[in-house]
Amino acid sequence: MAECSPAGYAVLGLIARHGPMTPYELKARIQDDIEPFWPIPHAQLYRIPPGLAQAGLLREEAETTGRRRRIFHLTDNGRAALERWIAEPDTGEPETRDPAQVKLFFADLGAPADIVALATRQAAQHRKWLSHYESLRAELEPSKDSRQSARARLLRLGVLHEQAHVDFWESLAADPGRLDD
Amino acid sequence: MAECSPAGYAVLGLIARHGPMTPYELKARIQDDIEPFWPIPHAQLYRIPPGLAQAGLLREEAETTGRRRRIFHLTDNGRAALERWIAEPDTGEPETRDPAQVKLFFADLGAPADIVALATRQAAQHRKWLSHYESLRAELEPSKDSRQSARARLLRLGVLHEQAHVDFWESLAADPGRLDD
DNA sequence: TTGACACCATCCCAATGAGACCATAGCTTC
DNA sequence: GAAGCTATGGTCTCATTGGGATGGTGTCAA
């Protein structure tokens, strides 16, 4: 039933949206758009598309001359699989890996001042991401273009997410003893 | 400089806090406490402690009789490494993998109704986590115990995080066209 | 023409994820 | 007290992954 991983569908989706692409182009697009909620190491982008081609969801067209890039096209099967996946509201559980939270969890085993230092650093870090998302959002033209609206929605979530973290770490830095709301 | 991964420090930290442990006990503790911000598959807990023992941060004491469990103790080196790590405010970047966000990003390639279905499902899911964290938090005795306060802080962040997601997905379910705040 | 650099792709190997599998202990039931 | 069940505890395997190292190709400027 699960025809491929979210990473696979991300590849299908990018090609569906922007047309045939090489792994290298995929890399650039993913870094911009998808990284924040589904990181994909670059080497995977030379493994996933051939796999999807095997499965008949993409078609590979290799240049024979010069640089011999491998360009991947969406097939009808690929588009169908992508649409089936989008229509399925059940998804896997989200996963988070945040070294700062691990550290905070064990902070009582260290010096009390360590918490303030950690929280200050984290607050700054998340504020940076927050303003990054906000400026990306500001750049977005307020068109009714449905492609733009996908990005806009995710940016809104990114802002909410970073805002929550900024609030948390800032309040922790300001008053490390406090535990209530 | 980086003596081991956050997973390694989580193992050191749990043993520092609760005393010598077998991999099996580690598994139980991690599922309860650490899973939400740093998942560790169970097989890793039979690989990481021996590795730390190699590095001199743990000491292994194998039962010779019956069940022959492997009990790992913290060494002085281990405690020192743990404290150094806690005192270091720089951490790696957090990573998120959320299939629902990938799906939402490509939702414009499917039917408009798919968004509502996805958002409704996600809102319910995150509301579940939210109330889970809130009830765990309610159970916590309001002691000044520093061990409890570590848990309390992380639960507060969990609540904020889930709240942000609930807000996002609920507003999306209610009005999929809206893009502003 | 010769660097220098950005572009593009592949390789490799250790680490990982996930699940199947195995073994022991203690409890129940007869 | 034997047989069987279930919870406990641990190990193995194998495909997949992460991510750094490497090695080509086109292009532009000096």
Interatomic distance B72 CA / C23 C1' (Å): 21
Give which of B15, B91, B170 to mutate to test A binding, by max A Cβ within 10 Å: B91
Q: Could you tell me the pLDDT band of residue A104, with boundaries at 50, 70 and 90? A: very high
Same structural domain, A158 and A104: yes
Please give the protein residue whose CA is closest to the C1' of the nucleotide C23: B67
User: How far is CA A181 from each of CA A14, A20, A151, rounded to the nearest angstrom?
Assistant: 42, 50, 32
- Residue ending a domain, choose from A58, A87, A116: A87
Provide the 8-state DSSP code for B21: B
Examine residue A166 and state whether it is found in any structural domain, yes or no: yes
Q: Label residue A149 by pLDDT band (50, 70, 90).
A: confident
B75 with B58: CB under 8 angstroms?
Answer: yes
pLDDT at A74 over 90: yes
Asked if A68 contacts A62 with a C-beta cutoff of 8 angstroms, the reply is: yes
Q: Is B92 helix (H, G, I), strand (E, B) or coil?
A: coil
Q: Residue B117: exposed, middle, or buried by beta-carbon count in 10 A (0-12, 13-18, 19+)? A: middle
Higher per-residue confidence, B139 vs A53: A53
Do you know the residue count of chain A?
181
Task: Among B58, B87, B116, identify where a domain stops.
Answer: B87
Distance from CA of A27 to the nearest CA of B (A): 16
Say whether B41 sits in a helix, a strand or coil.
coil
pLDDT in tens, B53-63: 989 999 988 76
**Residue span of the structural domain in which B48 resides:** 6-87
Are residue A17 and residue A83 in the same domain, yes or no? Answer: yes
- The verdict on residue B94 lying in a domain is no
Nearest nucleotide over every DNA/RNA strand to the A45 CA, judged by C1': C9
**The pLDDT of residue B3 is above 80:** no
pLDDT digits (tens, 9 = 90+) for B4-52: 899 999 999 999 999 999 999 999 999 888 999 999 999 999 999 999 9
Any domain includes A180: no
Encode pLDDT of B122-144 as tens digits: 999 999 999 999 999 988 766 66
Mean pLDDT calculated for residue range A134-139: 90
CA atoms within 13 A on the CB side of B58: 30
For residue A22, the SS3 value is coil
Rounded to the nearest angstrom, the gap between the alpha carbon of residue B46 and the centroid of all alpha carbons in its chain is: 18
Does residue B92 sit within a domain?
Answer: no
- Given a cut of 50, whether residue A31 has pLDDT beyond it is yes
Provide the shortest C-alpha distance from residue B71 to chain A (in Å). Answer: 21
Residue B180 lies in a domain: no
Q: Among A21, A155, A130, which Cα is nearest to B104's?
A: A155
A59 in the same domain as A128: no
Asked whether residue A31 is domain-assigned, the answer is yes
Cβ–Cβ contact A19 with B under 8 A: no
Q: How many domains does chain A have?
A: 2
Q: Which residue has the tokens 């809130």?
A: B134
Residue A124, domain member (yes or no): yes
Nearest Cα to Cα of residue B45 among B13, B11, B79? B11
What is the domain-level CATH number for residue B66? 1.10.10.10
Torsion of CA A130, A131, A133, A138, to 10 degrees: 140
Q: Are residues B69 and B108 in the same domain?
A: no
Are residue A13 and residue A82 in the same domain, yes or no?
yes
Check whether residue A114 and residue A160 sit in a common domain.
Answer: yes
Single-letter residue type at B13 = G
In this prediction, residue A1 has a pLDDT band, given cuts at 50, 70 and 90, of very low
Q: Domain end: B59, B87, B115, which one?
A: B87
